[in-house]
A and B are shown apart, each in its own frame.
Chain A
Amino acid sequence: MAKTVVVGLSGGVDSSVAALLLKEQGYNVIGLYMNNWEEQDECGHCTGEEDWGDVRRVANKIGIPYYSVNFAKEYMDRVFSYFLKEYNAGRTPNPDVLCNREIKFKDFKEKAFELGAEYIATGHYCDILHEDGKHYLLKAKDQNKDQTYFLNQLSQSQLNKVLFPLGKLEKSEVRAIAEKNGLATAKKKDSTGICFIGERNFRNFLQTYIPAKRGQIKTYDGKVLGEHLGLMYYTIGQRRGLNIGGQKGDDGSRWFVIEKDLKNNILYVAHGEEDRLYSDGLIASTINWIPEVPTKKEFDCTAKFRYRQPEQKCRVKITGDTVYVEFYEKQRAITEGQFAVFYQGEKCIGGGVIEKAIFKK
């Protein structure tokens, strides 16, 4: 009898094609849509309704049963609360990494197994190798789309019984398959940014949850250049949106954020040489290793410190619960709260939350 696989359908083209491919491979496929965020937009429409409509159209086209489940409470408790906590602490969190660890590969997976699933599948661009009882997370063939960064926190039990049907496909191929099969999502725009914010103005969104405290924008020499709208809106290295234009530095170069002083609510800016943005290493915590803790406590590998970045060569030193990552080449604007994700060849071997950048004198 065909094996049952439950596919997470989001209403986007990727998960639609994932479901289609599995069906073509002979699996008994069930679609499951997750509603994690309950909110009405300015016109009173439920924001998830359009995606759910596309899920229905796609599932009917492929000919699979589909259901909808609601994890809004779990998402609020375990992902969004973390998101707010991190912003309150002046950091820049990555809720999508948490959503995978806390919802998609937890509650969603449990629900899928309740439905009788032997596997779950998602439309992530990445691949997986189940070998000798271990589960290796591999990069996607489409390097531009590779999403292993977002999956770096998954444990072995979370990666067990998982399929990633898009691992060996380019995005363009995925769209072509969707179009050829007449899937309603074939030409749907990719979602961008953080899922629950969508296309909305980020500042306005954040402001409804965290009161913005205005403060001074200063240089290290104590010169006040203007007013910031709330430290949470800025990240280290940011140049745009400072609104202190016209006050170019002596050399005519642009200002950038160099430090967020949470205690005194001051945004420090600098201009000219960016030296002070370039760090030599970082400390990361909340480390997850795939498939297991490396036997060597010190080794070379590559790493990404934000999603859209080519891998950088580095040396990892494991000390207890944290790692020290030493860069071979200085890195610009390492951002606290984002993830450092490690790679060896095609394998994603884990990652952790960036606690702070290290500058050598």
Chain B
Amino acid sequence: MIKLPIYFDNAATTPVDKRVLEKMTPYFTEIFGNPNSQHVFGRESVKAVDNARDTIAGIINAKPNEIYFTSGGTEGDNWALRGVANAYKDRGKHIIISPIEHAAMIETAKALVKEGFTVDFMKVDGEGFVDLEHLKSIIRDDTIFVGCMMANNEVGTIEPIKEIAAIAHEKNAVCFTDAVQAAGVLDIDVKDLGVDLMSMSSHKIYGPKGVGALYIRNGLRISSIIAGGHQERMKRGGTTNVAGVVGFSEAFKIANEEREKNFNYVSSLRNHFIDRVINEVPFVKLNGPDKDKRDKYRLPANADFSFRYIEGESILFSLDLAGIAVSSGSACSSGSLEPSHVLLALGLPEGLAHGSIRFSFGKHNTMEEVDYAVDEIKKAVERLRAMSPLFKIEGDKKYV
């Protein structure tokens, strides 16, 4: 008997690994000192923070003093873009980002436009891959920032960050990558990639929520966005979230050690899922990289489908009632009309963008769960299509 509910929304967040929780526990009650304090309690805490910084730096081939702890991906994105814009505005006010960035980037960019910066978007193709030639054609002498996520949260596309960084550096622009979905899943070497900044988050890799890190290459100028005490080498005020940082580093360490195993296992679930859906559900579109690129160019956990003639929201609700948790577009609490900006950037018509569902698998999922979900999806889709006037008009025709 299968245990419900089933969690297929691992790109939204993941459960904390028990080993991570165990590492964190003492830092709430026993080792509680402020890491900035000059006494034994403080020293015990700062030791844990130092260890965490060393661990994380080691995994991405950075130096410990290039790791700045944050409250998570959104803060990292905000800080990278705003901090660079502020520090480099004398050199130029031109910013380039991809159109499929997280809202944390897009909204920060919009705010900067109001402050006199110019923002251009690099083109992506129908699978979500950045068009490098287009990037070369829009980058200018006054471009100060080029930002692109390493892997997209919605459709899973893995971007050519090394090439993007090279193009940025030719024009002396700072290159940033949002690795929130990629860190802990892909093998990352910041020196090899050549990026100047990289944001990471803990809760996507079985760590606690509310903590993450920004890699800032030594020598890069960046302004602070959170003024306060002397924490994080005076660049980010606020008492360090010691337990969180410990949890993040443990989660990252485990993710790194088990990366290949998890990658292969989660991929196998995902591939089985994609194959079954494509074969068994009519009128579906796999969004993001094509099926034959999924093993190299798509996050192993990700499958994003549009179900023609039905709204993604309706499938989401139906699957939830059947005990399967998935995501439609980006999560919004009280309901949003806007179709996913990512799918629109990929050139999907609004109807298909509205009908999209993201399934994201994790290491705790099983093949039985995947099969159960596919069976439920078939039922839900068939039931909803039977109620869809659009399907009655167009769908029947295509069946003939």
Partners in one complex: yes
Interface residues of A (CB under 8 A from B): 30, 33, 35, 38, 46, 48-49, 52, 65, 67-70, 72-73, 110-111, 113-116
Question: B356 contacts the other chain (Cβ, under 8 Å)?
Answer: no
Q: Which residues of A contact B317 (CB under 8 A)?
A: 67, 114-115
16 contacts between A and B (CB under 8 A): A33-B334, A33-B335, A48-B334, A49-B334, A65-B320, A65-B321, A67-B320, A69-B335, A70-B334, A110-B387, A113-B387, A114-B318, A115-B314, A116-B318, A116-B321, A116-B383
Task: Say yes or no: A68 contacts B314, CB within 8 Å.
Answer: no
Assembled-state Cα–Cα distance A110/B389 (Å): 11
In chain B, what residue has the closest Cβ to A73? Answer: B337
A114 to chain B: which residues have CB within 8 Å? 314, 317-318, 384, 387
Interface residue ranges of B335-372 to A (CB < 8 Å):
335-337
Check if A70 sits within 8 Å of B336, measured CB to CB: yes
Cα distance, A69 to B383, chains bound together (Å): 19
Residues of B within 8 A of A (CB): 313-314, 317-318, 320-321, 333-337, 383-384, 387
Which residues of chain A are near B313, meaning CB under 8 Å?
69
The residue of chain B having its C-beta at the shortest distance from the C-beta of A33 within the complex is B334
| A176, chain B: closest CB distance, angstroms | 29
Minimum CB–CB distance from B230 to chain A (whole Å) comes to 32
CB of B351 to closest CB in A, whole Å: 14
Question: Of all chain B residues, which has the CB nearest A32?
Answer: B317
B333 CB contacts on chain A under 8 angstroms: 49, 52, 68
Determine if A35 and B334 form an interchain contact, defined as CB atoms under 8 angstroms apart: yes
Q: Which residue in chain B gives the minimum CB-CB distance to A116?
A: B321
How near does chain A come to B388, taking the closest CB pair, in angstroms? 9
* Inter-chain contacts of B318 with A (CB < 8 A): 114-116
A interface secondary structure, majority: mixed
Whether A115 contacts B321 by the Cβ 8 Å rule is: yes
Sample of 17 further A-B pairs with CB below 8 A, known A70-B334, A70-B336: A30-B321, A33-B334, A33-B335, A52-B334, A65-B320, A65-B321, A67-B320, A68-B333, A69-B313, A69-B335, A72-B337, A73-B337, A111-B314, A114-B318, A114-B387, A115-B314, A115-B317
Q: A111-B314, A115-B321, A116-B318 are in contact. Are A68 and B387 (CB under 8 A)?
A: no
Give the Cβ gap from A104 to chain B, nearest Cβ, in Å: 15
Q: Which residues of A contact B314 (CB under 8 A)?
A: 111, 114-115
* A48 and B332 alpha carbons, distance in the complex (Å): 13
CA distance A70 to B383 in the complex (A): 22
* Contact present for A46 and B334 (CB under 8 Å): yes
Collect the chain A residues with CB atoms within 8 Å of residue B320's CB.
Answer: 65, 67
* Docked-complex contact B321 and A68, CB < 8 angstroms: no
Q: How far is A44 from B182 in the complex, measured between Cα atoms in Å?
A: 34
Question: How many whole Å from B383's CB to the nearest CB in chain A?
Answer: 8
Return chain A residues, CB-CB under 8 Å to B387. Answer: 110, 113-114
In angstroms, how far is the closest chain B Cβ from the Cβ of A8? Answer: 14
Contact of B335 among A30, A35, A65, A110 (CB under 8 A): A35
> A35 to chain B: which residues have CB within 8 Å?
334-335
Complex CA distance for A111 and B336, rounded to whole angstroms: 15
Alpha-carbon gap, A35 to B337, bound state (A): 10
A residues less than 8 Å from B321 (CB atoms)? 30, 65, 115-116
Taking the closest CB of chain A, its distance from the CB of B166, in whole angstroms, is: 41
Inter-chain CA distance A52–B337, complex, in Å, is 16
Q: List residues of chain B with CB within 8 A of the CB of A38.
A: 337
Chain A neighbourhood of B384, CB < 8 A: 114
A115 contacts across to B, CB distance below 8 A:
314, 317-318, 321
- Which residue of A is nearest B314, CB measured? A114
B276 to chain A, nearest CB (A): 23
Q: Name the distance in Å between B391's Cβ and chain A's nearest Cβ.
A: 12
Q: Which residues of B contact A111 (CB under 8 A)?
A: 314
Those 10 A-B pairs whose CB atoms lie nearest each other, nearest first: A70-B335, A68-B335, A52-B334, A114-B314, A35-B335, A68-B334, A70-B337, A67-B317, A35-B334, A69-B335
Q: B38 to nearest A CB, angstroms?
A: 42
Q: How far is the CA of A67 from the CA of B311 in the complex (A)?
A: 14
Task: List B contacts of A67 (CB < 8 A).
Answer: 317, 320
| CA distance in complex: A111, B337 (Å) | 15
Q: How far is the CA of A33 from the CA of B332 in the complex (A)?
A: 13
Residue among B317, B334, B337 with the highest chain A CB neighbour number at 10 A: B334
**Residues of chain A contacted by B383 (CB below 8 angstroms):** 116
Q: Give A110 to B313 CA distance when docked, in angstroms.
A: 13
A7 to nearest B CB, angstroms? 14
Closest to A28 in B: B321
Q: How far is the CA of A336 from the CA of B336 in the complex (A)?
A: 35
Q: Would you give the shortest CB distance from A30 to chain B, in whole angstroms?
A: 7
A30 contacts across to B, CB distance below 8 A: 321
A69–B316 Cα distance when bound, in Å, is 12
Q: Given the complex of chains A and B, what is the CA–CA distance between A250 and B313 in angstroms?
A: 66
Q: Which residue of B lies closest to A68 (CB)?
A: B335
| Whole-angstrom distance between the Cβ of A71 and the nearest chain B Cβ | 9
With the chains together, A33 CA to B333 CA distance in Å?
A: 11
CB distance from B212 to the nearest CB of A (A): 26
Closest-CB distance, A300 to chain B (whole angstroms): 42
For the complex, what is the distance from the CA of A224 to the CA of B314, rounded to whole Å? 60
C-alpha spacing A52/B384, complex, angstroms: 26
Q: How far is the CB of A147 from chain B (nearest CB, A)?
A: 25
CA–CA, A70 to B311, complex, Å? Answer: 12
State the CA gap A114–B384 with chains docked (Å): 6
B332 to chain A, nearest CB (A): 9
Residues of B within 8 A of A49 (CB): 333-334
Chain A residue contacts of B336, Cβ below 8 A: 70
Which residues on B sit within 8 Å (CB–CB) of A116? 318, 321, 383
Residue in A closest to B313 when the chains form the complex, CB atoms: A69
Most chain B CB within 10 A, of A48, A52, A70, is at A70
